[in-house]
């Protein structure tokens, strides 16, 4: 199967195990669900996350993520989760550890800002709008796939061009 067909089939991460910290909501949860859609076995972790939280989400093709309540500042909790994930799914191939630093993305917490703040943010971006979660999750899926196999040591700003302006 060529890479384009693989991309179109949305299975480019089949056989991979992804662990996402801070995935109780917002962008972290969106990333987890996108990795699941791309074929990965997904583990969602968050300080406030409960197993029943994931059952509320629309998941692709009846595939459900594993869900763990985990505090990333507690090494013993991390070890316990990693051990259980390794036993149940295998070695973690993809780790999203709150390292995605996009611009203002339309998540519930961002949308809760006062309208005048959001307007000011929009006005200082080249795109004149907030980012959409899928614009970030598509990048994460790409970076986790073989399509990015020759990339290393680079930052990819997902800011709508806000970083182009000097104040």
pLDDT in tens, 69-115: 999 999 999 999 999 999 999 999 999 998 667 789 999 999 999 99
CATH number for the domain harbouring residue 24: 3.40.50.720
pLDDT of residue 64: 85
Distance of CA 149 to the CA centre of its chain: 19
Helices (H), the chain: 3-8, 26-37, 51-54, 75-88, 108-111, 115-123, 133-144
Rounded distance between C-alpha atoms, residue 21 and residue 44, angstroms: 6
pLDDT of residue 44: 95
pTM for the whole thing? Answer: 0.85
Give helix 133-144 / helix 26-37 axis angle, nearest 10°. 50
63 is a domain residue? yes
18 is a domain residue? yes
162 is a domain residue? no
| Tokens found for residue 119 | 């307007």
Count: domains in the chain: 1
pLDDT of residue 48: 85
What range does the domain containing 74 cover?
A: 3-100+133-149
| Look-up of token digits 């056989």 | 15
64 is a domain residue? yes
16 is a domain residue? yes
């Amino acid at each position: 199967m060529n890479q384009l067909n693989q991309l179109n089939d949305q299975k480019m991460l089949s056989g991979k195990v992804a662990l996402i910290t801070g995935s109780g909501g917002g962008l972290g949860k969106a990333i987890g669900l996108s990795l699941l859609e791309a074929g990965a076995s997904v583990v969602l972790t968050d300080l406030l996350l409960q197993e029943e939280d994931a059952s509320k989400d629309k998941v692709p093709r009846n595939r459900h993520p594993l869900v763990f309540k985990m505090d990333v500042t507690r090494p013993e909790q991390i070890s316990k989760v990693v051990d259980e994930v390794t036993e149940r799914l295998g070695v973690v191939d993809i780790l999203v550890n709150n390292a995605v630093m996009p611009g203002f993305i339309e998540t519930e917490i961002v949308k809760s800002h006062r309208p005048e703040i959001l307007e000011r943010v929009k006005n200082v971006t080249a795109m004149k709008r907030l980012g959409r979660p899928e614009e970030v999750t598509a990048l994460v899926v790409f970076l986790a796939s073989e399509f990015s196999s020759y990339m290393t040591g680079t930052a990819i700003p997902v800011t709508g061009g806000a970083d182009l302006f000097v104040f």
